[in-house]
Amino acid sequence: MAEPFAQPLDGEPAARVLVAGASGFTGALAAQIVWCHPRLELVAATSRSDAGKTLEELYPRYRVPLELTELDLDELERVDAAIVAYPHGASAPTVAALRGLGVLVVDLSADFRLRDLPTYERWYGEHGAPELLEGAVYGLTELYREQLREAELVATPGCYPTAAVLALAPLAEKGLVSEAFVSAMQGTSGYGRSSDDLVHFSAMTENAFPYKTEGHRHRPEIEQELAALGSPAPVTFVPHLVPLDQGELATCIAQLSEPLSREEVQALYRERYAGEPFVRVLDGPPNLRAVRETNECHVYVTVEERGRVLAFSALDNIWKGESGQRVQNLNLMLGLDETEGLL
Amino acid sequence: MAEPFAQPLDGEPAARVLVAGASGFTGALAAQIVWCHPRLELVAATSRSDAGKTLEELYPRYRVPLELTELDLDELERVDAAIVAYPHGASAPTVAALRGLGVLVVDLSADFRLRDLPTYERWYGEHGAPELLEGAVYGLTELYREQLREAELVATPGCYPTAAVLALAPLAEKGLVSEAFVSAMQGTSGYGRSSDDLVHFSAMTENAFPYKTEGHRHRPEIEQELAALGSPAPVTFVPHLVPLDQGELATCIAQLSEPLSREEVQALYRERYAGEPFVRVLDGPPNLRAVRETNECHVYVTVEERGRVLAFSALDNIWKGESGQRVQNLNLMLGLDETEGLL
Amino acid sequence: MAEPFAQPLDGEPAARVLVAGASGFTGALAAQIVWCHPRLELVAATSRSDAGKTLEELYPRYRVPLELTELDLDELERVDAAIVAYPHGASAPTVAALRGLGVLVVDLSADFRLRDLPTYERWYGEHGAPELLEGAVYGLTELYREQLREAELVATPGCYPTAAVLALAPLAEKGLVSEAFVSAMQGTSGYGRSSDDLVHFSAMTENAFPYKTEGHRHRPEIEQELAALGSPAPVTFVPHLVPLDQGELATCIAQLSEPLSREEVQALYRERYAGEPFVRVLDGPPNLRAVRETNECHVYVTVEERGRVLAFSALDNIWKGESGQRVQNLNLMLGLDETEGLL
Amino acid sequence: MAEPFAQPLDGEPAARVLVAGASGFTGALAAQIVWCHPRLELVAATSRSDAGKTLEELYPRYRVPLELTELDLDELERVDAAIVAYPHGASAPTVAALRGLGVLVVDLSADFRLRDLPTYERWYGEHGAPELLEGAVYGLTELYREQLREAELVATPGCYPTAAVLALAPLAEKGLVSEAFVSAMQGTSGYGRSSDDLVHFSAMTENAFPYKTEGHRHRPEIEQELAALGSPAPVTFVPHLVPLDQGELATCIAQLSEPLSREEVQALYRERYAGEPFVRVLDGPPNLRAVRETNECHVYVTVEERGRVLAFSALDNIWKGESGQRVQNLNLMLGLDETEGLL
């Protein structure tokens, strides 16, 4: 008889893993992925608000019978690595404490994404552990793979930056992007579990809207990464909420510093992403159903009639956009195959 | 130029109306219907939690620019009638106070629906104004039209009882129903505005489930009304939540005390509902889109292969199931045409 | 008793109206609006594919008991005006025949939208009645109101051009737009009734995607109108399909030829649209639920951090985007109040 | 680097499998499950209407790069087993031909479900291979596991009978069910890929309705199985379509021939399904999201206030309701672990 509720460990685990903040949408998925991972052991999943419940009770489709506990660093069993899914600002102190115990950390929050402290402070307020900023690696796997293998603290990119930067990276790396416009949409899982009038089913069904139109925190993050790749371009970013659960689509319009033909641009993308296990370059526009519940990012690039580049990327915002990518990075940090537990 | 934000009053109003508890789904719709009603003037819409906001801010599709205020009975301007949309238990004291001021009251809560006090207490706890029970009229318009014309306090039926009783009334009135099974479904507006994990878009999309399977308060209410019509039959009632906003479908299976043919049953329904402005007897199964945002109830009856009667009714749970029916009743109480402001 | 199925004519009709092609989504809505219009009489609704059915059978939420017939111009009763909802290319001959009979025509197709014949031929093929092109008026009411009062043939704009041009018109009229990027989304009613794998509920739920990424016919139409207003700017246009029924959102990013502050831009929009019955300038981003089943277009404009103008518009693609606007124009052509039958 | 598009075969395949009729919803899923199965090799997936396309093109979320071909039994490579997903009536001749070649067959259609030929003929018309009826095994795994191990031709049950019979089997086996009422709902994948106005996204969103209210073919199938288990009870069956893709919920109300307490009934269910890998007895009502994209059936049973048994089951109609169960049975026929390729 099958035992769907035992962790399917394949021999001795490569690491004992803690998921801190496991009751939200992305923390819960992180716990689920670790639970089903053949080389990782989920030793604890913690939550202040839902301690005492199992993840199964909160999310029936996740089969993690482990009971959520409150995080107590003094009582913590031996842990090799932690995925921390705390809100921005609240994350830094816990991350610092875990690092102090020698635990490898993959952090979900924005606390270690922006390398420039003043930029961080402008968007998020005071930083709780600025001394850790320098050592943090930005966890967009396809761009920082080698650094991630050595990393001890990884900042998971925002879901929009993951989508937008993967859509534009092949051009940005060549210094070709002179300006970019990103119009993106995501489902309500991106809004978080917080129960709010806006995401009540009765409010979202048959609805859609742009939000944070005067400025979104992910804009400076996208600009930081395009600049790091070689294209310090100004970015206009407009996010939208649409009536679906999981999925994120970035529609990017780029002005190039020198004209390229459609064939040249498409060849550049195929070449750049040829070896990537989770990025697939398509022959036509991507769609969200094809990536749902996967760690894949589907990319399509073309040049439209007026000579501008259109670059699209589709991913599941809580998989490649959040928790899938976290485990992808954790695999690298632990010397495992990057795809383990994810395909 | 059009002035969409003025109340479209047709001369002197027939009544000045208060909507108390206007920030929830059904209270807001009541305010919207009264606002657009050619003979009623909306003098105040009150809400404890959202005082200071306009209804438009809470529900962009409702065009009521009036600012929500806190209810203060001492400061109340002259009011002829009130629609009270308070939770069960909380409603009775306010209803009693309004009645004390001579105000006609249409109450949304369950407080005056069950004529038997012990039954009320079993399901809802202590009653806040038992002295008013006897004078209250049950507001299922198609059954109590004459009493409603004279009523001063009307209890709006639950949405499920409205659907189930309209589906079974033509048989129940003849004393024909010996037992009944009601399997019903409704959209998330029936769950209320209360922001709860369950009705987060991410939880409800692609989901559906039965609830309150061990007993739902609407069961005794359905039995009360079938008995009042002449069929004191035991009822099994199972409600389900489905992923849509507004809509309610009751699928009723009835055992008859004497067999009737399909033709006889269908003729009975056509005859019974022939003069009803809001009940439409169909030639085939009803659907929810046809009644959405209307005060109509669509009914279909047939006899299935094993000889049981199948009776279906479809309505919009916040219109005919709640606020549309309230205004239908208020029209009667005020001597207006029952359909005014509703078609 | 109410008679929901009689046309609510207010005295003698101002015109007898034919709706040709009434079985598709927008033709059916046109028939429904005319049926409920207090000054118009719906004399016939025609359909080749669904002749013999009533509109109610096809679309239960529309209450038009009229039976669909095949169009026979020889047998046609006296008709003053016609709304023609035929596919592109198929429309021109019927329009020409109706004009030959002296009938005022509002045409849904693209056949009379593009004033430049070569541009038409590039996108749609041979033109069926090029001699009528010059006399046709482009039916974006807010831009061509005076010409529409005198028009005998009106081309209803595409739904995307309606949204995009209304979003940009106040700037375009001042010659300020030097380039524009339009990322737009619409629901599945915009895809038409054609039953296709793509719009099967099982394919669209939890899905979204861009389409026609190499070039969409509405791009030259948007450019034509911006140029006509005074801003001959190149436009990049990307449409998306999202999982909802009725609704269209245009997110426009404009580069201005001279910089304007957020306050200046917002003042410009308020002033421009101050007297418009169906355009509402909002204080924040629009949403689709607020305009669903209305003829309104909600507009919001701002300047984002990088200095570009963001202009948003939301409308119901089959109302203001198609059939609502058609009746708005027909009202003008007939000398009626523009808003009749539409609020 | 990962190779997501190679079949993940674990050594020599246990069987070479053909999927005939792979372009519909359930045939495509069967091909996908076989493709990913560690012990089965998918040698061909056939389709008349979509030959030449890959399954990936038709269903982007399925990763089967194999090109669909037309079935040609003369050209067929060696095949050990076939899953046939043809319409009722069309299936029997192909099944007969494959059996003639010695191929093990799992048939999706209704052609071999009803053991009584006159009943088959009443509901489906003439039978194409009545001589095979007697040898066919009804593939409700939990009831016929031992026969399935020896079977050469298996009839996959209808999705509704799978749900309803699993919900009632523990009582039916004891001869306790004297009558039953089944009110069930399913998503649009159950309606099939056939593009029809009814399942256009614009028609189904915010809609729900009962169908085939005068008699559905699954009713005699449910009665056949309850009788085979020991409870020859008359069944009333009412199916509904609800706005979701995959999922099926059966709400069963049973009259017992002798009264049982809630505790007795619940104990009976736990005991009956204790060893079942894919049936999970819950402590409360099931929901569809918990079983989506799984082969599980979740069951809950209780006794309601009026003494009737309520038995609920939830499953994914194209997994446990169709193609998951087919592979579950194929595993048994081939002597494999029943759960292989399914968890």
Does residue B3 carry a pLDDT above 50?
A: no
For residue D147, report the phi and psi dihedrals to the nearest 5 degrees: -65, -35
Q: Is D1 on the interface with A (CB under 8 A)?
A: yes
**Judging by DSSP bridges, how do beta strands C177-186 and C153-155 pair with one another?**
unpaired
| Nearest CB to B306; choose among D187, D206, D236 | D236
- The pairing of strands C297-303 and C309-315 is antiparallel
In this complex, the residue of C4, C278, C289 whose CB is nearest that of residue B61 is C289
Q: Cβ separation of A289 and C251 shorter than 8 Å?
A: no
Does C339 sit within 8 Å of B289, measured CB to CB? no
Convert the pLDDT of each residue in D112-152 to its tens digit.
999 999 999 999 999 999 999 999 999 999 999 999 999 99
pLDDT > 50? residue D171: yes
Mean pLDDT of chain A: 94
Task: List pLDDT tens digits, range B164-176.
Answer: 999 999 999 999 9
Q: Which residues of D touch C203 (CB under 8 A)?
A: 201
Structure tokens that stand for A48 in this block = 């202040």
Instruction: Characterize the bridge pairing of strands A209-210 and A235-241.
Output: antiparallel
pLDDT at A102 over 50: yes
Rounded Cα–Cα distance for residues A181 and A312 (Å): 12
Q: How far is B1 from chain C (nearest CA, A)?
A: 6
Task: Judge contact between D287 and B208, C-beta under 8 A.
Answer: yes
Q: Which residue has the higher pLDDT, D57 or A159?
A: A159
Q: Is any Cβ of chain B less than 8 angstroms from the Cβ of D310?
A: yes
Neighbours of A, requiring at least 3 CB pairs below 8 Å, are B, C, D
Query: What is the per-residue pLDDT for C195?
Result: 66
- Distance, in Å, from the CA atom of D234 to the CA atom of D224, rounded to the nearest integer, reads 10
For position A67, what pLDDT does the model report?
93
Which residues in chain A have Cβ-Cβ distances shorter than 8 Å to C289? 203, 206-207
Among A residues 223-252, those touching chain B with beta carbons less than 8 Å apart: 243-246
pLDDT band at D2; cut points 50, 70, 90:
very low
pLDDT band at B63 (very low <50, low <70, confident <90, very high): confident
- Cβ distance of B207 and D312 shorter than 8 Å: no
Which one of D10, D61, D205, D331 makes the best mutation probe of the A interface by having the most chain A beta carbons within 10 Å?
A: D61
Nearest chain A residue to B60 by CA distance is: A203
- Judged by a CB distance cut-off of 8 A, whether residue D8 touches chain B is no
> pLDDT at position B206, please?
97
Per-residue confidence (pLDDT) for residue D88, from 0 to 100:
87
Q: Which is more confidently placed, A4 or D111?
A: D111
CB B245, CB A206: distance < 8 Å: yes
Report pLDDT for B4: 46
Instruction: Say whether D197 sits in a helix, a strand or coil.
Output: helix
pLDDT value, residue B249: 98
Q: What does the pLDDT look like over C22-64, one tens digit per residue? A: 999 999 999 999 999 999 999 999 999 999 999 988 998 888 8
If pLDDT is split at 50, 70 and 90, which confidence band does A5 have?
low
Of A209, A251, A292, which is closest to C285 when you measure between CB atoms? A209
How many Å is the maximal CA-CA distance in chain B? 62
Query: Which of these, D283, D286, D285, lies nearest to D294 by C-alpha position?
Result: D286
Would an 8 Å CB–CB cutoff place B2 in contact with chain C? Answer: yes
- Please determine, for residue C1, whether its predicted confidence score (pLDDT) is greater than 70: no
What pLDDT is recorded for position B192? 86
Rg (CA), chain D: 20
Q: Do A206 and C234 touch (CB under 8 A)?
A: no
Q: Give pLDDT tens digits for D172-183.
A: 999 999 999 999
pLDDT at A276 over 70: yes
State the smallest CA–CA distance between residue A163 and chain B in angstroms: 21
pLDDT of C165 higher than 50:
yes
CA dist B254 and C163 (Å) reads: 52
Point out the least confidently predicted range of A278-292, A322-336, B118-132, C280-294. B118-132
User: Is the confidence at residue B5, as pLDDT, over 60?
Assistant: no
Q: Is B204 exposed, middle or buried (0-12, 13-18, 19+ CB in 10 A)?
A: buried
Q: Given CB atoms, is A208 within the 8 Å cutoff of chain D?
A: no
Which of C188, C202, C205 has the CB atom closest to D202's CB atom? C188
The Cα of C159 is separated from the nearest Cα of chain A by a number of Å equal to: 17
Contact in structure between C129 and C111 (CB atoms under 8 Å): yes
Phi, psi of A266 (to 5 degrees): -65, -35
B193-220: per-residue pLDDT in tens?
876 789 999 999 999 999 999 989 999 9
Nearest alpha-carbon partner for A216 in A189, A236, A192, A242 = A236
Q: pLDDT band at D4, cuts 50/70/90?
A: very low
Of D195, D205, D246, the CB nearest to C200: D195
Instruction: Provide mean pLDDT across the span B330-341.
Output: 97
| C293 interaction partners in chain B (CB closer than 8 Å) | 293
- A200 vs B199: CB contact, 8 Å cut-off? yes
C3: pLDDT strictly greater than 50 = no
pLDDT in tens, B259-316: 999 999 999 999 999 999 999 999 999 999 999 999 999 999 999 988 899 999 999 9
Which pLDDT belongs to residue C63?
A: 83
Nearest CA in chain C to D202: C245
Average pLDDT for D269-282: 97
Q: What is the pLDDT at residue A195? A: 66
Each residue's pLDDT tens digit, C76-116 = 879 999 999 998 888 999 999 999 999 999 999 999 999 99
CB pairs under 8 A between A and D: 34
Distance (Å) of CA A84 to CA A151, A323, C179: 15, 10, 44
- Considering only residues 93 to 132 of chain B, which have any Cβ-Cβ distance to chain D shorter than 8 Å? none
Cα(B268)–Cα(C212) distance, integer angstroms: 55
D305 CB near a chain B CB, below 8 Å?
yes
- C-alpha angle C322-C326-C331 in degrees, rounded to nearest 5: 155
State residue C102's pLDDT score: 95
C195 interface with D at CB cutoff 8 Å = yes
Looking at chain A from residue 35 to 64, which residues have their Cβ under 8 Å from any Cβ of chain D?
Answer: 60-61
Given the structure tokens 């526009």, which residue do they identify? A285
pLDDT at B195: 66
A224 SS3 class:
helix
Q: How confident is the model at residue C253 (pLDDT cuts 50, 70, 90)?
A: very high
Question: pLDDT grade, residue D65 (50/70/90)?
Answer: confident
Span D223-261, pLDDT tens digits: 999 999 999 999 999 999 999 999 999 999 999 999 999
Which chain B residues are within 8 Å of D308, Cβ to Cβ? 181, 236
| Side-chain half-sphere CA neighbours of C313 within 13 A | 28
Q: Following DSSP, what letter does each residue of C114-157 receive, concatenated?
A: -S-HHHHHHHH-S-S-GGGTTT-EE--HHHHHHHHHH-SEEEPP
* Chain C closest-CA separation from residue D293 CA (Å): 14
Nearest CA in chain D to A4: D343
- Choosing among B10, B58, B61, B300, which should be mutated to test the C contact, i.e. which has the most C CBs within 10 A? B61
B288 touches chain D (CB under 8 A): yes
Evaluate if residue C117 carries a pLDDT over 80. Answer: yes
CB contact under 8 A, D285 and B206: no
Q: Which chains touch D (3 or more CB pairs under 8 A)?
A: A, B, C
Confidence of residue D5 (pLDDT cuts 50, 70, 90): low
Q: Chain D residue closest to C23 (CA)?
A: D197
Per-residue pLDDT band for A297 (boundaries 50, 70, 90) equals very high
Among chain B residues, the shortest Cα distance to A195 is held by: B195
Q: How many angstroms from the chain centroid is the CA of residue D227?
A: 19
Nearest neighbour of C288 by CB, restricted to A207, A304, A310: A207
Burial of B127: CB neighbours in 10 Å, binned 0-12, 13-18, 19+: middle
Which one, of D202, C65, C4, C1, lies nearest residue B294 by Cα?
C4
Amino acid present at A340: E
pLDDT value for D3: 44
Measured in whole angstroms, the distance separating CA D274 from the mean position of its chain's CA atoms is 21
**C290/B4 Cβ within 8 A:** no
Q: Quick one: what percent of chain B has pLDDT higher than 90?
A: 85
What percentage of chain D reaches a pLDDT higher than 90? 85
Active site residue B159: yes
CA of B308, closest CA in chain D: separation in Å?
Answer: 8
D81-110: pLDDT as tens digits: 999 999 888 899 999 999 999 999 999 999
| Beta strands across the sheet bearing C153-155 | C40-46, C15-20, C81-84, C104-107, C153-155, C137-138
**pLDDT average, residue stretch C170-184:** 97
